[in-house]
Amino acid sequence: MSVLLDLVTIVMVSAGMVFFLAGTVGLLRFPDTLTRLHALTKADNIGLGLVVIGLVPQAGSLRDGLKLLCVWLLVLLASATVSQLVAQAARREGDSS
Amino acid sequence: MTIVPALDLFVAGVVLVVAVWTVAVRNTSSAVVGFVAYGLLLALVWVRLGAPDVALTEAAIGSGLTGALLIGAAARLRAGESTVAAERPGVPVRLLIAALATVVAAAIAGVLLSLPDPAPTLAPEATANAGATGLGNPITNVLMAFRAMDTMLEKVVLLLAVLGIWSLSPDAAWGGRPHLPHRAEPDAALEFLARVLTPVGVVLGIAVLWVSADHPGGAFQGATILAAMWLLVLMAGLGEVPDIGRRRLRLALVVGPAVFLTIGLGGLVVSGAFLSYPQGFAKPLILAIEFAMILTVATTLGLLVAGPPVAGPPAAGSAAAGSPARRAAP
Amino acid sequence: MNEFLTVMVGLVLALLALGLVRVLRGPGDADRMMAAQLIGTCGIAALLLIGVIGGTSAAIDVALVLALLATFAAAAFADCARRTAQPGGPGPEAP
């Protein structure tokens, strides 16, 4: 059983890292602010989600597992809204220059 | 496992690079972003050093609230920034600055290098006496029982800071409304964020205080989170900064130190020493102080960021017409 | 298991550093605003991994606070940029 849980962790965390990597590559390679924002928010949120799902089997207690999921939900909500705000700022910068 | 020290060195290096970048960059708003990033990274370092209490404080105060304060300052200074950046100080002034900075850095390095090797510590005593209060977190024990006097005076200092800021207001605005420089036409995304995030933040802030008896956390960290949520509501235009003359606001500002002082004087009567808690009542009394404190500190920190009052108080007759304070008073 | 997770912490920290360098270079304020968000996700991932490796549930609490305050900082940046852009620049009309 524990081998199976460890396997879930390894697969999920690795998959999460692939998304983190994709997000950073996008951040480094994409040409303008809006596309970079796209790379950062989309990739990182899925990445964090997969990492969280991978870590839940390793959490010491039910409370810790629930807290891990709370972190992800909070980041999902916050980052989706903040990316709207950053995109508005980017558009204004583009307008004024 | 040589990878762990390598990772620690790597994080330390990143923090140093961000710190140097923050100091070196010429543009004020870039420096503020650098400062916030630096504070968030430092929270990571404190967790690695095994000090989650400090990490919580750093994440909440060091980057979040101080960041908001600096953003406000940068916005106010923006008009004059280009003229200030254009005039460079002369060579003697720059040499003097370099010399002073070197002296300060050398003094700090000298003090650090001359510390006795097993640093003098009271940690064993603090752990040994932890049972006396019934609290499991040694840091809360130190802050609220063993060195409660320091904590109380710290709150009084915060109150003095608010008075100092209020004293900058012009005579006509005394008793009026602080100008939080965040008044623009409503923004849907920001408003949504303020509506959804604030309840979560309030729960988290109170939870951080509640768990502090046995786990990392504390009244100050919790209060900072509450203050940040209050400021978010104000930023989104969903609430108004209350008039500083309002009685409920003033009550919220003094309730923390007042409860602290009352319990401290009660200790003088009951157990014979100022701020000593009677046997068996330490935990409820400490919790009472902390809950009064979280209200005071959250209000204080919010008002510190809001700045001095700029608009006059409403006329005496129409005082009731002022919009109700959202969360300044319970 | 812990060795694997430690390597993952190293990877996520390296990505954080790379992204931070890119974001802080600008060119605009909007790019720099992403710094708070970047640390908000990569830093939190690192904190959660560290917390699970060491069995310290306090690291998860710190991650929660970090998520909340990073969002607050980013919102404050965006709000400040919006306000300074408004007097002179064009209003937020529909595209």
For testing contact with chain A, the best of B191, B200, B210 (most A CBs within 10 A) = B200
Read off the pTM.
0.82
For tokens 């006329």, the residue is B315
Is residue B179 left, alpha or beta, with left meaning phi > 0 and alpha meaning psi from -120 to 50? beta
Rounded mean pLDDT, A4-28: 86
Distance from C-alpha of B76 to C-alpha of B73, rounded to nearest angstrom:
5
Cα C1 to Cα A9, A55, A65, B47, B161, distances in angstroms: 9, 11, 17, 21, 50
Residue B182: list chain A partners with CB under 8 A: none
Residues B187 and B295 in one domain: yes
Taking CA atoms, C70 is separated from B63, B193, B311, in Å, by 8, 13, 31
Residue B202 lies in a domain: yes
Q: Do B200 and A85 touch (CB under 8 A)?
A: no
Whether chain C has a CB inside 8 Å of the CB on A1: the answer is no
Residue C89 in this model has a pLDDT that exceeds 50: no
Across residues C27-46, what is the average pLDDT?
80
B185 contacts on A by Cβ (under 8 Å): none
Q: List B residues 195-214 in contact with C (Cβ-Cβ < 8 A).
A: 197, 200-201, 204, 208, 211
Stated as kind and residue range, the H or E segment containing B310 is strand B309-311
Listed residue (C37, A39, A67, C65) closest to B208, CA to CA:
C65
Of B77, B92, B127, the position where a domain reaches its end is B77
CB under 8 Å to B325, separation ≥6 — which residues? B239, B240, B242, B246, B248, B249
Going by pLDDT thresholds of 50, 70 and 90, the confidence category of residue B316 is very low
Domain assignment of residue B120, yes or no: no
Each residue of B63-72: pLDDT tens digit?
788 888 888 8
Q: Quote the domain boundaries for residue B31.
A: 1-77
Asked if the Cβ–Cβ distance from B193 to A82 is below 8 Å, we say yes
Residue B317: pLDDT band with limits 50, 70, 90:
very low
Of B50, B77, B104, the last residue of a domain is B77
Which of B77, B99, B122 is at the close of a domain?
B77
**Domain edges within chain C:** 9-83
Using the beta-carbon criterion (under 8 Å), do B208 and C65 form an inter-chain contact?
yes
- Burial class of residue C7, CB neighbours in 10 A (0-12, 13-18, 19+): middle
B151-188 pLDDT, tens digit each: 888 888 988 998 888 888 877 777 777 766 555 566 78
The domain limits of chain A are 2-96
Per-residue confidence (pLDDT) for residue B110, from 0 to 100:
94
Position B87 in a domain? no
Work out the angle between the directed axes of helices C44-54 and A2-29 (0-180°, nearest 10).
Answer: 160
What is the average per-residue pLDDT within B38-50? 87
Give residue B315's pLDDT band: very low, low, confident or very high (50, 70, 90).
low
Chain B residues closer than 8 Å to C86 by CB: 184-185
- Which is more confidently placed, B309 or B300? B300
- In a mutational test of the C interface, the residue from B3, B7, B21 whose CB has the highest number of chain C CBs within 10 Å is B7
What's the pLDDT score for residue B96? 94
- Cβ atoms of B273 and B267 within 8 Å: the answer is yes
pLDDT attached to residue B99: 95
Are B13 and B145 within one domain?
no
- Split into its structural domains, chain B has a count of 2
Mutate which of C32, C33, C65, C82 to test chain B, going by most B C-beta atoms within 10 A?
C65
* Band of pLDDT at residue B43, cut at 50, 70 and 90: confident
Confidence of residue B286 (pLDDT cuts 50, 70, 90): confident
CB pairs under 8 A between A and B: 19
